[in-house]
């Protein structure tokens, strides 16, 4: 079955870049997503990448996809205190509609 793994914690200083990593097992993944969850809130879609792409950039966010290694990363440039949250990687298989398989989440802490 599908499995998505992430490291649990990441701590960075304000202004530095953050890189959050994710590995997945389902080779039929069609879309890969990054969601942000702030305390007590729902999930906010940050960005997504189609499996035939290897990079996508959106303002401060850069997504890199290595299909061979089934590795996905999210880079946040110039990290701010408002970026402190839990970041979830998720994937949908081909034909899976919006049935998402989520990683366990990475808690990002931004320190002054």
Partner 1 sequence: NAGVMQNPRHLVRRRGQEARLRCSPMKGHSHVYWYRQLPEEGLKFMVYLQKENIIDESGMPKERFSAEFPKEGPSILRIQQVVRGDSAAYFCASSPTAGVEAFFGQGTRLTVV
Residue 47 or 62: the one with the smaller Cβ distance to partner 1 is 47
91: Cβ contacts below 8 Å, ≥ 6 apart: 2, 4, 24, 26, 29, 30, 31, 32, 33, 100, 101
Residue 45 or 77: the one with the smaller Cβ distance to partner 1 is 45
Burial (CB count within 10 angstroms: exposed 0-12, middle 13-18, buried 19+), residue 29: buried
- Give, as ranges, the residues between 37 and 96 that touch partner 1 (CB under 8 A): 40-45, 48, 88, 90
Of 13-21, 35-43, 59-67, 73-81, which segment contacts partner 1 by CB under 8 A? Answer: 35-43
Q: Examine residue 104 and tell whether it contacts partner 1 (CB under 8 A).
A: yes
């Amino acid at each position: 079955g599908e499995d998505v793994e992430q490291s649990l914690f990441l701590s960075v200083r304000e202004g530095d870049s953050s890189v959050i990593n994710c590995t997945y097992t389902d080779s039929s993944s069609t879309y890969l997503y990054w969601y942000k969850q702030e305390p007590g809130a729902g999930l906010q879609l940050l960005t997504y990448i189609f499996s035939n792409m290897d990079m996508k950039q959106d303002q401060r966010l850069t997504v890199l996809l290595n299909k061979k290694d089934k590795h996905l990363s999210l880079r946040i440039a110039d990290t701010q205190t408002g970026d402190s949250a839990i970041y979830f990687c998720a994937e949908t298989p081909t034909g899976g509609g919006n049935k998402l398989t989520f990683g366990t989440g990475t808690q990002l802490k931004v320190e002054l």
